[in-house]
Each structure stands twice: as structure tokens, then as C-alpha cells.
Amino acid sequence: MILWLGSMTGSMAAQDFIPRKQTMPPGPPLSPAEALSRMVVPEGFHVELVASEPDLQNPVAMAFDDAGRIYVTESFEYPRHEPGPGKDRIKILTDSDGDGKVDRVKVFAEGLNIPSGIAVGHGGVWVANAPDLLFLQDTDSDDVADQSTVVVTGFGRVDTHELPNALTWGPDGYLYGLNGVFNPSVIEQDGRKHEFTCAMFRIDPRTKKFEIFCEGTSNPWGIAFDSLGNSFVSACVIDHLWHLTESGYYLRQGGPYPPNTWWAESIVKHKHQMAAYCGIEFFDSHAYPEAYRNKLYMGNIHGGCINTDRVERSGASYQGFGEPDFLTANDVWFMPVAQKIGPDGCLYVLDWYDRYHCYQDASADPKGVDRGHGRLYRIVHSERPKPRYEDISKLTESELISALADPNLFVRQRSQLELAERKIAPGSATALELETLVNQAESLTTKLHAIWALSGSGALRESFLLSLLDHANPEVRAWAVRLAGDLFPSDPSIVARCRVLATDPDPRVLVQVAVAATKFHRAVPSTEAWIATELEIARHNAADPLADPILGRIVWQNLKPVANEARRAIVNQSLHSTSPSDSLLDSMLPRFAALWTDRLANSNFNEDQTEVIEDLFSLLEHFRKKSPNLATAILQPLVNRSLNRGFDPIELRKLVRKFYSPQDSIAWDKL
């Protein structure tokens, strides 16, 4: 209460200050009732207050547990840069009578320092508390954490509005999170060093193994997994919506790219208000009419609203399209930092509620920083069915399996996670029941949840996975390949079958084969097989190699580490292609040419380097009539090195004369 009253005093000193992205002073805060009265939602909906100050102050992140309770992190330290103990905490908010309003509040953990992400599962609470990611446990069931374990450490605090965030359980059983572009981080684990800025990471909850899933974007602050297990991310400053694929590298807001990066674009061409996003949720619940389902809802900080996008399949990725806003607050203090589907199927919106949306404003006017407000809302439709209030952790295994077909995505996800936590034995009655559900369920989403429950619980058998690799549905095949790379990378039968799928007609499957091929090589090194698999995929998409927005980039990212060893195979495949149009591989040849040229010495070419030049001119000869633009692009890296005095021009011309006629205009006009 002291913090709350203190914040009101500070707010009076900031009445004339105009924050960034605003056109006038924000004025005093509205009461919860006043804030509700100003909110606009579509016809048939209304907004309800679930919790507010003083029970809730400066909320940053939230997560539901199996009983439907809400764990919320609160930060009074923001934007503090120094690590170490702080005044921040985690609260458990409980609606004990099911009326939609919190009536019991318990402090679960204290002494934290900007806890920027939270997830509940596998026996505890996972908290991003930079530089650490913590695992908090309540061993005596009094709703107070009494044991804390550092899972990994090394997250930066250079920019405290880009801290690790959005801890979210993935369909594959991993815990996923994000980090921002201006927050350099270094995590060392088991002798391996992970250096990164903007990235999606994941952690195995059992082994605690940390991995970088993909890199790029800007200050991403929100992960949503859709009903098919695709990961979508909301980001700031640059485009707002991204579909992220493992091993991909995406457009960065700033900072250098690794050498020879072929970055991927966002999935949107439209913009909503401003460009500061926080939180995202894929909504799939029968609590709303059909027109509002299977949409992505995103918090727009500067816009003071909840934006809506729908997505449509585009090759192995998606394209996003803007739709009307789902909520408009009409209150500049409104800051929607997180959105989640609840046990009742409604969308919950966590509101930081502050006059200052950016840390720059806090630095410019520290007395005006609010420390005492915070709200939690839910958006309700008047005709929603009666919600179910069950503690998912108390369901039997058969009841949990039945819940995998529930119309509420929250119930499906938590039931799947609970099954994973129970460590089901392969071939057990529960495992066989899940296998039967995969084979007999009419709903694709039910099939997938059953597959994910098998894999997450350790009950996925090799023989059953082999059958999934031959499934008629490409989504199932794609997930089978992905799980093969994660769980069975050294199984000869599974690896062999996955490599056959390099000829699959569906790009969703091909993308996963490209990613898995690298994992197979790490488990059982075979550079030749790795290269052969990636090149087989690269034969695809001959009619329009750039039509798929992600496939070529994923193949490139996974082939790039062995591009020099693969040079002759790449050249031979291109030279002997019978396709009348460019293949996916052909479209990558200029990038390979740049990578190979980077390895050439400045002068006195040795035999290996001479062979590189010979291969480049072989490609040039092959494409100069078939595709002159491609031929020129293949030559361009060599030209650039020559123009920049990277090569001795006399030595280079001597070498070129061995392979090319001075009468040919393409080469000699350039060199």
C-alpha cells in the first residue's frame, strides 16, 4: 500500500510531461471502474476486472497452473540494470468461487529483480530473472517457494526492456523463451558456449539442456503456439508478427549478422497502430464465436489496444493478415503486457498500467514512474458455454487423454503437459491408449496432442514413430520428422526413413527433414549423408524456387556449415540438372559462390583454390545462356573481391584464362 500511495504522489509531478509516442500529458490514472467503462470490444463481448491494485502492482508476466490459479510476476525494480537481489516478487492469484474475480492473493516468492517471464510445470515454477533462469519449488505445499535452483545463467541486463521473457511450454515438451536484440547474452553449459542477442531458446525440463532454437527479429516479447504446434512471435519496432522455424535466422532490427546469412522475413505486410508489441496468444476456444477463433491476439503498447491477425498457410510458413482490433482501451495508461487463454476459455489481459510505455521516459522523469498500479482483465462473450473448473493435475490418465480433444486450447495444452510430467512407460496401457487416439481420432489437433503427449512423456516408441513417418497427413509427417531429430537421431531405421522423406512433396515435411539432417549428423557423423539429404531437398520447388518463404533459407542454414565440403556435389548437381527452370539449389548458387570466394587467398592460388575458381566458371558457362542473370550473380562475388583488391589482378587474370575465353562478355566485362 505504501508503494501504491507513493506512486500517486510521484504521478502528480509528471502531469505536464509528454511521454514518447504520445501527443499530450497522459493525465492521472483512471480507477479500474473508469478504465473498464472506456474499453471498446466487439458486439456481444464485455470486459471484466479480475484483479487490480493494491492486490496487483506492476505486473510483467503471468501463467496459469493446473488448478486455474494465476502466477503473476511483479517488478518495482524496472528498469534497473544491476543484477542481484531485488524487491520484486511472484504472487498467486486465486478465484476460489469461480465468479471470475480474484479473492485470494499469496506471495509465492520475493527478492527477485525484474522477473520477466514465468511458466508453471514439471513440479515447479520457471522464472526468467536475468542473469538467471530459475526453477522454484514449493516442497511443503504451503504456496511459498522454499527451494530455488539456477537452471542456466548468463542472460544480459544491458537493456532491461529486452530481458529473457515469454516462457511458454511448447508442444514438443520444451520450455521456450525469447531474448532481445540489444541484450547480449552468453550462456555456457556442458562445455558449450551460446552467444546470442535476439533469439528464441528452449530448455528440456528434465535434462535442463539449453538450446538456441532460432535467431533474429528485434525485441520479441510473446510466444504463441497454434493448434498445429507452429510458433508465432510478436516483436517491436520492425514488423510485428513472425513465424519461427528451428535453425532459421530472421531479419534483425540492428547489429551484425553472421557471415553469409540468408535471413528470413516476417509474415506480414500490414501494420497496426505504432510498433510496440508485448504478448501474443493464439485463440482456440469455444468460449467465443467461430469468427473470433483461430486468430492471434497481440498487445499493442503504444496503440493501447489488442490487435488481431489471422494467418494463412504459405508453403512451409504462413502469411498474416490484419483484422479489426479486439479491444481498444481509450486510456493511455493501458499497457497490455501479456495475453493468455484461461481455464474458462476466455482471453485474459495483463495490464502493467503506467503513463510511461518506454524506459527512456522513466530515465527522463524518474519521479513520474508508477509503482502502484496493475490490472488483470478477461474478455467475455455473453453466450459462452458454462466453463469447466477442474484441477487438471487431479485427473486420471484416461481423463487427461479425453481432455486432449477439449475445445479449449488451454485444457488441451495443460492436459498434455500433465501427461508428460507423469513419465508414461512405452507400451503401457496409457501409451497404447494414446497411440489408439492418434490412429482413430478424426480431429488433426487431437492426433497431434496425443503425439506430443507420447513424446513429452517418454512413451513414444520407435516402431510407432516409423508409422507416423508414413502418415497420410503432412502435418503428422512433419512432426514425426521433428521428433525423430530430437528423440531418435541415432536410430538407423528412423534416420533412413527420414532421409527418404527428402523427396516428400510437401514443404512442411521438407523443412523438418532439413533441420533433422543436421541432428542426425551430430549424433552419428556422416558428412556425405548430411550433404546428400540437404541437396535432395534442394532439388525441389523447381517451378518457382522462391515461392516458399522459408524452405530455401532453412536448407541454406543447415547446409552452410558443410558448404565447402559439399562444393563439388553442389556444382555437379547443378551442372547435371535436367530441369528446364531453376531449382531451389540454383537459386542458392550465388550465396555459395560468395561463401567459397571468401575462402580464397589474395594471391598465389594453390590447387584447392584453383579448383574453386574452376567450379565457379563451370557454373558460369552452364548458366550463361540458360539464365544470364543467375550467371552474373554467381560471378559477382569474385568480381567484388577483385574490385576491392582482394586478389592480385594479374594472378587472377592468368587463372581465369585457363577456364574462360577473353571473348566472353559476361566474365571479361566484369573482370
Helices (H) and strands (E) in the chain, counts: 19, 26
Does residue 271 surpass a pLDDT of 50? yes
Tell me the pairing of strands 147-153 and 132-137.
antiparallel
Is residue 256 classed exposed, middle or buried when 0-12, 13-18 and 19+ CB atoms within 10 A define those classes?
exposed
User: Who has greater pLDDT, 647 or 268?
Assistant: 268
Q: Are 616 and 647 in contact (CB under 8 A)?
A: no
CA distance linking residue 36 with residue 40, whole number of Å:
9
Is residue 658 classed exposed, middle or buried when 0-12, 13-18 and 19+ CB atoms within 10 A define those classes?
exposed
Q: pLDDT > 70: what percent of the chain?
A: 90
Q: CA nearest 209: which of 232, 233, 231, 191? A: 191
Q: What is the mean pLDDT of residues 228-232?
A: 99
User: Who has greater pLDDT, 97 or 601?
Assistant: 97
Does residue 198 surpass a pLDDT of 60? yes
Q: CA nearest 350: which of 359, 341, 358? A: 341
| pLDDT score for 1 | 36
**Rg of the chain taking only CA atoms, in angstroms:** 27
| pLDDT score for 9 | 40
| pLDDT score for 579 | 64
Per-chain mean pLDDT for the chain? 91
| pLDDT score for 602 | 62
- The string of DSSP letters for 415-431 reads HHHHHHHT-PPTTSHHH
Q: Are 183 and 260 in contact (CB under 8 A)?
A: no
Residue 574 CA: distances (Å) to CA of 582, 587, 592, 612 = 9, 10, 12, 15
* Other C-beta atoms lying within 10 Å of the C-beta of residue 110: 15
pLDDT digits (tens, 9 = 90+) for 388-434: 678 999 999 999 999 999 999 999 999 999 999 998 999 999 999 99
Q: What is the mean pLDDT of residues 276-289?
A: 97
Domain boundary among 153, 176, 200: 153
Q: CA nearest 333: which of 574, 661, 11? A: 11
Q: CA nearest 494: which of 527, 474, 519? A: 519
Does residue 566 surpass a pLDDT of 70? yes
Does residue 499 surpass a pLDDT of 80? yes
Domain limits for position 668:
580-671
CA distance linking residue 188 with residue 210, whole number of Å:
9
Q: CA nearest 441: which of 403, 478, 487? A: 403
Does residue 38 surpass a pLDDT of 50? yes
pLDDT digits (tens, 9 = 90+) for 423-438: 899 999 999 999 999 9
| pLDDT score for 362 | 72
Q: List, in order, residues 6 or more apart from 438 with CB less than 8 Å away.
A: 447, 450, 451, 454, 464, 468
Q: CA nearest 339: which of 50, 663, 630? A: 50
The dihedral region occupied by 434, where left means phi > 0, alpha psi between -120 and 50, and beta the remainder, is alpha
Is residue 62 classed exposed, middle or buried when 0-12, 13-18 and 19+ CB atoms within 10 A define those classes?
buried
Where b means 16+ CB within 10 Å and e means fewer, 586-621 reads bbbbbbbbbbbbeebeeeebeeebeebbebbbbbbb
The number of folded domains in the chain is 2
Q: CA nearest 447: which of 437, 458, 459, 455? A: 437
Does residue 659 surpass a pLDDT of 70? no
| pLDDT score for 609 | 82
pLDDT digits (tens, 9 = 90+) for 104-146: 999 999 999 999 999 999 999 999 999 999 999 999 999 999 9
Q: What is the mean pLDDT of residues 160-165?
A: 95
| pLDDT score for 256 | 93
| pLDDT score for 86 | 98
Is residue 426 classed exposed, middle or buried when 0-12, 13-18 and 19+ CB atoms within 10 A define those classes?
middle
CA distance linking residue 352 with residue 349, whole number of Å:
10
Residue 338, in any domain of the structure = no
Does residue 101 surpass a pLDDT of 90? yes
Confidence band, pLDDT 50/70/90 cuts, at residue 649: low
Residue 36, in any domain of the structure = no
Q: How far apart are the first and last CA of the chain?
A: 75
| pLDDT score for 6 | 41
CA distance linking residue 600 with residue 609, whole number of Å:
6
Residue 506, in any domain of the structure = no
Grid coordinates of 295: 486468430
Tell me the pairing of strands 88-94 and 104-112.
antiparallel
Q: Are 157 and 81 in contact (CB under 8 A)?
A: yes
Domain boundary among 137, 153, 169: 153
Q: What is the mean pLDDT of residues 162-180?
A: 99
- The string of DSSP letters for 210-275 reads EEEEEEEESS---EEE-TT--EEEE-SSS-SEEEE-TT-EEEESSSPPPTT--PBP-S-S---SSS
| pLDDT score for 8 | 41
Residue 331, in any domain of the structure = no
Confidence band, pLDDT 50/70/90 cuts, at residue 2: very low
Residue 366 CA: distances (Å) to CA of 17, 18, 356 = 11, 14, 10
Most confidently modeled of 489-493, 611-615, 645-649?
489-493
Does residue 643 surpass a pLDDT of 50? yes
Q: CA nearest 608: which of 644, 574, 668, 565? A: 565
Lowest mean pLDDT among 119-128, 261-270, 331-340, 575-584: 575-584
Does residue 662 surpass a pLDDT of 70? no
| pLDDT score for 12 | 39
Return the SS3 of 369.
coil
Q: Are 159 and 112 in contact (CB under 8 A)?
A: no
Q: List, in order, residues 6 or more apart from 336 with CB less than 8 Å away.
A: 278, 279, 299, 300, 301, 305, 306, 329, 349, 350, 351
Domain boundary among 153, 188, 209: 153
Residue 178, in any domain of the structure = no
Grid coordinates of 509: 515435411
Instruction: Provide the CA 527 distance to its chain's centre, in angstroms.
Output: 29
Residue 82, in any domain of the structure = yes
Q: Are 70 and 93 in contact (CB under 8 A)?
A: yes
CA distance linking residue 303 with residue 454, whole number of Å:
42
Give 323's strand partners.
308
Tell me the pairing of strands 223-225 and 277-283.
unpaired
Residue 628, in any domain of the structure = yes
Q: List, in order, residues 6 or more apart from 393 with CB less than 8 Å away.
A: 66, 67, 418
Instruction: Give the CATH number, domain containing residue 69.
Output: 2.40.10.500
Does residue 605 surpass a pLDDT of 80? no
Q: What is the mean pLDDT of residues 383-391?
A: 81
Q: CA nearest 177: which of 220, 206, 208, 135? A: 220
| pLDDT score for 669 | 55
| pLDDT score for 641 | 79
